[in-house]
Structure 1
């Protein structure tokens, strides 16, 4: 039976903590938003705007770490502690360098950026207060993400999951105390800091998770991180590492900007259509989390096999990964189909026109996870096979050269209905699926020990 195979069991043991990690990360933002909401619209808006700025930076850092995860997984497969140490320190140096750049930009140019985003003086002050503290998250995230990449590459994805379980309640409790203040005794009390308190809680929460991850790595019998010397060989290693992972970060950036561009164009639809799409978007993100985690675990396992030079079952395991990813996507699509039947109960008290718009796009958001899941697993596997630049090229052409201009014409020129505007997203996935599949078949047909050797660098 397919599900009883060792490869599948190993992938699922990696995938379920990855999926829960993603859901917990999303829930942390929701918790902070929920706690800040009683303060009123200005603090909420400040947190929303600041969160958007940070989200872009953190997404790029996570993408860099995901690229490093493939390099680290190959190093694990090679069973060379020296190679693993070099990969870890190279990934950490790259991510921390990017984090330092982001931190510097937020320190030197925070006020011009805030002034460009809003004219409201009170809102500007609140955003400044929040960013003044939360900018340290980019540095802490850089370190934790590379640690998580190392642990995932080792097959220990449950440790990062436990780290989130430590951070989440700590973040929530500390944020509440700092937002609203506390008074234990006459001598032990503090006034509430508003949105600043939410930022402090987040920084302290992720600091605790960083400490837990560091202790877990130090105690792990499977890894011994030796010191490195920044000689010419190590600098070359860092350069090769960067060349491999940069397209991954660029890919995430263009897809993220593309999603925002779609959302911007959807604002030109009538308000009911825009609300319908806005309501569906979080469900799509959460639903694709599961197939994304399976795809990521497949890339880790394949990278480990490449590092160990065990390519006997490579094509077979890739096909298994694709089949299961499609199966998961079909299950998600089925859940979305059920949701479409009860969505009036999920979101009661909406206008009738909004329900009509939701019904119009229902067939589209039901099939979208299948096409997206198919592309996600192909993209991750191709990156594991060293095709990061090719995946970026296909995604860029599919989204920015074809689909976004098409959506602009449909919405801005032809004033199309919500169905045709939203249909561009599954259309984009379909036109990307063909070249991704072709590239995967071509790569697997020619992938041999020599190709595997080219991916290993000292």
Structure 2
């Protein structure tokens, strides 16, 4: 039975590599788009079409891996090697199967999506070529995300972060050479960016395998834990991780639907909503990383049979930490709004005014969002991933999406449409916090 938990500094040591790793993961496609921009607007359009599909594929793998790292943390807490190897093996099998299924569906349906979205045959052709090469990245990420989840679950979050530090320069160098055909290499255009990403992804897999061999050599036996797996183990693993993946798909799909609804607003209002969205995503990784680190530690404590007083004391410290992180995010939002006239100097005054109107919401939003994230990750650590999935799905499809459609149809000021982001967190707040405080998992703690 474990009677101690990591300090606040210990949570921070786990959280900051996860935060930067998530930013770098999102940055893979961003880098490709930046490098392709020199080829002109049509090349960027082709890149954007392909990225919409490739981003969903890699995002699903990340979602499965986020669920896997909780199971790894629980296994790590037991101190037994067998469950740890089973969690890694199941994660690899499920991630690879998800990648193969996703690529198969993309091969069947992506062509039609690209053709309908492309404004020219050239754009459609380039997007298809990019996506075909990017399939290598998807398969490599299936392995890399599984190993990263294993290391994260063991509390070793720096390894996955360092893998991106190694891979990103490789991505840039190979992409530049192959986009433009420098040093005698073929000029592949948009597809060159995908080749660069593929080379970088394979380098990342090799780097992570080297870390795994050095830190957990036993994990590499029997085909990295996949030999001897049975359907019962795979089914149990999938039952836990599938709701996490469904939550991700639902969140992204609802966000896309809302974006289509936003497009019916005035151009300046739509531009303001579009400009603030990436900042919310990037700044939000601070609180999300802290919450994920909290979930990993709680899973480790539960696996080790920690007493209730230890878990409660740790959660109190984690909550204090997420409020500090939320205050930092709110300060970032204030700076962004204050600097909007300089950051977006060419915008119309109405757009800048709309960005300023978002400030009251942005100053409040990080606090309930961070607290909800602590609850969600803690409940997942306690095995309640299905309940967490239901909270997300119903708050999105019974509240956010219909409320967005109604307010846009009523043509209310953009401030009220934007405020739905905060109201969604308020809607989720009681369900998350009451379940955490009164859930059956607490009564089972010694």
TM-score range, shorter chain: over 0.9
| 1:456 corresponding residue in structure 2 | none
Distance 1:100 1:339 in 2: 40
Deviation, structure 1 residue 194:
0.2
Q: Cα 1:34–1:448, aligned 2, differ >3 Å: closer, same or farther?
A: same
Quick check: 237-246 or 215-224, which moved more?
215-224
Instruction: Say if 2:260 is the partner of 1:254.
Output: no
Distance 1:340 1:17 in 2: 27
* SS of the residue 2:365 aligns to: helix
Distance 1:449 1:343 in 2: 49
Match of 1:273 among 249, 269, 272: 269
| 1:99 corresponding residue in structure 2 | 99
Q: Cα 1:11–1:444, aligned 2, differ >3 Å: closer, same or farther?
A: farther
State the Cα deviation string for residues 264-319 of structure 1 (Å, max 9, x = none).
11111101011111111111111111111111111111111111112341122122
- Contact 1:74/1:303 (<8 A) preserved: yes
Distance 1:343 1:118 in 2: 32
Instruction: Say if 2:303 is the partner of 1:340.
Output: no
- Contact 1:21/1:160 (<8 A) preserved: yes
Match of 1:372 among 366, 369, 373: 369
Q: Cα 1:357–1:16, aligned 2, differ >3 Å: closer, same or farther?
A: same
Distance 2:186 2:315 in 1: 56
Q: Cα 1:156–1:108, aligned 2, differ >3 Å: closer, same or farther?
A: same
| 2:399 corresponding residue in structure 1 | 402
| 1:318 corresponding residue in structure 2 | 315
5 Å matches for 1:13-412? 13-118=13-118, 120-183=120-183, 189-221=184-216, 223-227=218-222, 234-312=230-308, 313-412=310-409
In angstroms, what is the RMSD of aligned CA positions? 1.8
- Contact 2:76/2:300 (<8 A) preserved: yes
Q: Which runs of 5+ in 1 are unaligned?
A: 184-188, 451-458
TM-score under structure 1 length normalisation = 0.92
State the Cα deviation string for residues 434-455 of structure 1 (Å, max 9, x = none).
11000100127734259xxxxx
* SS of the residue 2:185 aligns to: strand
Q: Cα 1:446–1:301, aligned 2, differ >3 Å: closer, same or farther?
A: closer
Distance 1:297 1:446 in 2: 20
* SS of the residue 2:155 aligns to: coil
Distance 1:317 1:9 in 2: 12
Structure 1 runs (4+) deviating above 6 angstroms are: none
TM-score under structure 2 length normalisation = 0.94
Distance 1:119 1:334 in 2: 41
Q: Which runs of 5+ in 2 are unaligned?
A: none
Q: Cα 1:116–1:347, aligned 2, differ >3 Å: closer, same or farther?
A: closer
Distance 1:229 1:256 in 2: 31
